[in-house]
Structure 1
Amino acid sequence: MKTPTLICLVGPTAIGKTSLGIRLAQEFGADVISADSRQIYKGMAIGTAAPTAEEKTQASHHFVDFLYPNRLYSAGDFEKDVIEFLGNYFKEKNVAIMVGGSGLYVKGVVEGFDNLPTDLELRKKLNSRLASEGLEPLQEELKKLDPNHFNKMDNQNSQRVVRALEVCLISGKHISSFYSENKRKRDFDIVQIGLEAPREIINERITKRTQIMLDQGWLEETKSLLPYRSENSLKTVGYNELIAYLDGEMTLEQAKERIAISTRQFAKRQMTWFKKDKSIKWFNFQDTNSVVEYAKSAINS
């Protein structure tokens, strides 16, 4: 029997991964696994640019909209759950498509992690500090303890900052030291594909998408999520700014501008992360036909 294949489609936010992932799924009769650390949460579909109801009818999607925003979920959890899912999935189908921009989620599935140490009491204390002091002091502490990881990670994501700080303080080691030095052997082949575009085009797409998301009701969605405002899942790009607007700290226009700036910075960090992985084959975001042909040849080789 032919070894099954996981096609991983990665790249910065707003590059067009979702639509191409669906095309690949249709091409291979496959399902889509979302590797996005925010799309996992319920009620955040607009602000996380999750697949729409229509897109979900075009291909089956997994690991989207399945946790309440007050649930903590790590890259290690994602690795474990996806590997378990694929173990069953590949009994029926031969190709799966994993789409996302969360580098740690992708890394966990592709390479595996060594077990990250956990201390829930320390995490609780760090979250209390986050609530009382804000994110900046925690960022500064992590920057001193693990500057390399801090500069590569989404350091505006408070949940990521707290978790990285937790690991550093428990172990006295950099979090990157827990990444498996040797890739774990998977029971499936892996094809990694990246989408890229010139920085100015990515920035332009981010600005347009920010307005589209606001037009779709992002502000109303944020209002409905206010009971979760203290949760780490809401302390991320977009929701931070819209909550600040709702609190009267800035105008809506200022919030929109800050969202675009923060998202551009996030996209830059995503590209820095993914470009380190030499096993990713890169394509211009418009050259989707070449992506499909490459995936076909990789699977058939």
Structure 2
Amino acid sequence: MNQKYIINIIGPTAIGKTTLSIAIAQHFKTEILSADSRQFYKEMQIGTAAPTKDELKAVPHHFIHHKSVLDDYNVGAFEKEALYTLGKLFESHDVVVMVGGSGLYIDAIIRGLDDFPAVDPSIRSTLNETFEKYGLEPLQIKLKALDPQAFETMAIDNPHRVIRALEVCIGSGKAYSSFLKKSKIKRDFKTITIGLTAERAIIYERINTRVDKMMEEGLLEEVKSLQHLQHLNALNTVGYSELFKFLNGEWPLDFAVSEIKKNSRRYAKRQMTWFRKKEDITWFDYQAPVQKMLESIDNAMS
């Protein structure tokens, strides 16, 4: 039996992961598994910078627009479905490309999910009530106090993630981050991770340009079509929550767009903080030739 590999493409938002993943998948004549939790939802296309129709045609993709925002979907379900899909793909491919910026979902495939203690359900109810009454900020402040490491590395603009971390902190009396796995579980494949990076100013400029392009492509209209569903967890995310505030009359449009850019930059910073704590990543400048990355992959396989 041939050794199976996942080529894992990571990096901050707007760095060029999609383009690179397609080039590498075409080189190995294989398929792509997405580990971007925002791109799962078919109603969220423009605001998640999902692959275009042409990009989806160029290489078969999995876990792109396969769910609805109405579905109850989480990282545990993703891990189970993705591992099953990988098993099927490995029947006809020795290499599968994985791409995404959601560190928790990437880790679920490579390392497996962490084991957390059971906590009193009333804690989550209380936290949900706080969120409904006062918004996300007081919960973020509490998480920063109880678990600074989790605050710095997780998606703190995601209410579900913040509430989950807080309920573990409060219920166990220990930091949420203290339960994160320190070692990998054994998988039937090896992982080769390629990271794309750039100077911070370049990353921020690319983010700002992407947001402007999203607005030109109709992001506001996409968000308007989802306004009646804005209470759903899937839509509590950058690019959508800010424009809901505009549509609800809370913010002017220019300010909402500037907040999307600011929150996207913060998200990119958290992504890089998460990735830089990981081992066995070969980093490349975002403008490096694809051939140079392929040589690095070949060396890792030999």
Do these two structures clear the TM 0.5 threshold for a shared fold by scoring above it? yes
Question: For the Cα contact (< 8 Å) 1:118–1:166, is it kept in 2?
Answer: no
CA drift at 1:12: 0.1
CA RMSD of aligned residues (A): 1.7
**Structure 2: 5+ residue stretches without partners:** none
Q: Which runs of 4+ in 1 moved over 6 A?
A: none
Question: For the Cα contact (< 8 Å) 2:33–2:98, is it kept in 1?
Answer: yes
Q: Does 1:70 align with 2:51?
A: no
Match of 1:244 in 2: 245
More displaced, 153-162 or 115-124?
Answer: 115-124
Match of 2:59 in 1: 59
CA drift at 1:125: 4.3
Q: TM-score, normalised to structure 2's length?
A: 0.93
1:11-44 C-alpha deviation (Å, 9 max, x unpaired): 0000000111111111111111111121112200
Letter in 1 for 2:54: E
Q: Aligned partners of 2:189, 2:275: CA distance in 1, in Å? A: 21
SS in 1 for 2:57: helix
Q: Aligned partners of 1:62, 1:117: CA distance in 2, in Å? A: 32
Q: TM-score, normalised to structure 1's length?
A: 0.94
Question: For the Cα contact (< 8 Å) 1:131–1:230, is it kept in 2?
Answer: no
Residues 23 and 45 of structure 1, relative CA distance in 2, 3 Å threshold: same
Residues 70 and 118 of structure 1, relative CA distance in 2, 3 Å threshold: farther
Question: For the Cα contact (< 8 Å) 2:10–2:100, is it kept in 1?
Answer: yes
Match of 1:291 in 2: 293
Q: Aligned partners of 1:170, 1:84: CA distance in 2, in Å? A: 33
Q: Aligned partners of 2:176, 2:205: CA distance in 1, in Å? A: 34
Q: Does 1:112 align with 2:105?
A: no
Match of 1:278 in 2: 279
Question: For the Cα contact (< 8 Å) 1:112–1:179, is it kept in 2?
Answer: no
Q: Does 1:224 align with 2:221?
A: no
CA drift at 1:121: 5.8
Q: Aligned partners of 1:66, 1:169: CA distance in 2, in Å? A: 34
Question: For the Cα contact (< 8 Å) 1:159–1:233, is it kept in 2?
Answer: no
Q: Aligned partners of 1:249, 1:94: CA distance in 2, in Å? A: 52
SS in 1 for 2:38: coil
Match of 2:37 in 1: 37
CA drift at 1:124: 4.6
Letter in 2 for 1:298: A
Q: Aligned partners of 1:121, 1:28: CA distance in 2, in Å? A: 50
Alignment of 1:53-202 (within 5 A): 53-117=53-117, 122-202=123-203
Alignment of 1:17-32 (within 5 A): 17-32=17-32
